[in-house]
Each structure stands twice: as C-alpha cells, then as structure tokens.
C-alpha cells in the first residue's frame, strides 16, 4: 500500500513516486489529488509540464475531466533545478514527453530531500516503453499503475491505441485520436491497422 507520508521518513530524505498507465486512465487526476493533499498540508510545491503539451492550457496541468492546477511549462528537464529552491514537493505531468535527462534530474531532487511525483504514459502507441518512463519506474520508491476501461471489451485497458495513421512518436490528441484497449483488443486493432496500411 502506498503511504503519502511514510512513518519512517527521515529529515531531508526525499523519494520518487511514479503514476503510470494508458491514456484516459486517470494519471493526471491522481497527480492533482496528491498535489492538493500536499497543499492542504501547507507544503511548498512546484509543478512542471512539457511546453509541447498545449492541449488544454499553455501553463496549467489539466486532466480530462477539466480539473486543473498551476504549473510551469518547460522544454528541458534541467530547467526544473532553478525553480526548486526551498521546495518540498515537485510534481511532473506528461513525463514521457521529456528528455532522457529527466531520471537524473528526479534523482537529484529526491537526493536533496524533495518528494518527486511523476505522471506519464508507460507505453507509446505501439505498446513500447515510452521515453524516460522505464528509467523512472526503475528508480522510483513507489509506483502506481492506473487503468482505463477498454472501449472494445469493457475490461481493464493497458494500451493506448492510435486511431489515426500518423507514425510520429509524439502525437498530441484526445478521444478522436486514441482509444484505451486491453492487450487482446490492442493486438487485434494493430493487426487490422497494419493490414490496412499495406493496402
């Protein structure tokens, strides 16, 4: 069970939490929930998002259900360090879009005694580990995997299926572009999509 404030926490001992899953699984909602609880505890917080994610707002972190929280949009993960003096909690949304230095930056922050909360897609549209996420999962003390509901089977969804033909790794989109699918449904849809592309 994940405890937000472990009883055995020593002074100046930080840690890393990762919230991962497919699209529409509630990752950002869970990130915002944890931030709100830290705010209630009167902790000093900085929240970051990648500057390329402008789907809902240029600066705010916004969930699919329109819950939002103020954040700082940055291009490179190293920019976080300058913002994190005298901060107790650092929150990072859409971590999969950041550069490969992000795990090092998160380790640096945690080693300074900061609680680092990260949310991101663990797999890309092809079902492969996404960006820095596998490294973040490896170094995290706490990992929470959340699930969407498969639109084909009604079961748990682990995969984000891209419905459009674009092949670029980063493709911002919502329900018009992506569907959450279970493993079996994802395999079937990928076979169908690949056969269509070959025609």
Over residues 124-172, the pLDDT tens digits come to: 999 999 999 999 999 999 999 999 999 999 999 999 999 877 776 666 5
Q: What is the CATH number of the domain that holds 72?
A: 3.40.50.300
What residues make up the domain containing 85?
15-146
Per annotation, catalytic residue among 29, 75, 79, 94: 94
pTM, whole model, 2 decimals? Answer: 0.86
Over residues 176-198, the pLDDT tens digits come to: 688 999 999 999 999 988 776 56
Number of domains in the chain: 1
| Residue 69 β-bridge partners | 61
Q: Between 65 and 80, name the one with better pLDDT.
A: 80
- Binned at pLDDT 50, 70 and 90, residue 175 comes out as low
Pairs from 71-76 (Cβ < 8 Å, separation ≥ 24): 71/47, 72/46, 72/47, 72/48, 73/48, 73/49, 74/48, 74/49, 74/50, 75/50, 75/51, 76/101
- Is 174 contained in some domain? no
- Is 56 contained in some domain? yes
- Is 95 contained in some domain? yes
- Is 188 contained in some domain? no
Catalytic status, residue 94: yes
């Amino acid at each position: 069970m994940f405890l937000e404030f472990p009883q055995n926490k020593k002074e100046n001992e930080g840690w890393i939490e990762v919230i991962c899953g497919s699209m529409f699984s509630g990752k950002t909602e869970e990130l915002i929930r944890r931030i709100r609880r830290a705010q209630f505890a009167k902790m000093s917080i900085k929240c970051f998002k990648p500057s390329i994610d402008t789907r809902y707002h240029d600066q705010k972190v916004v969930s699919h259900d329109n819950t939002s929280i103020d954040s700082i949009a940055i291009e490179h993960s190293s920019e976080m360090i300058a913002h994190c003096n005298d901060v107790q909690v650092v929150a990072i949304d859409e971590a999969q879009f950041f550069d490969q230095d992000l795990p090092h930056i998160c380790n640096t922050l945690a080693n300074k005694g900061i609680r680092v909360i990260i949310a991101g897609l663990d797999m890309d549209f092809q079902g492969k580990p996404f960006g820095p996420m596998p490294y973040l999962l490896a170094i995290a003390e706490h990992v929470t995997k959340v699930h969407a509901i498969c639109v084909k089977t009604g079961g748990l969804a682990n995969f984000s299926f891209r419905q459009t033909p674009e092949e670029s790794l980063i493709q911002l989109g919502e329900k018009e572009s992506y569907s959450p699918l279970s493993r079996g449904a994802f395999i079937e849809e990928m076979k169908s999509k690949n056969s269509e592309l070959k025609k």
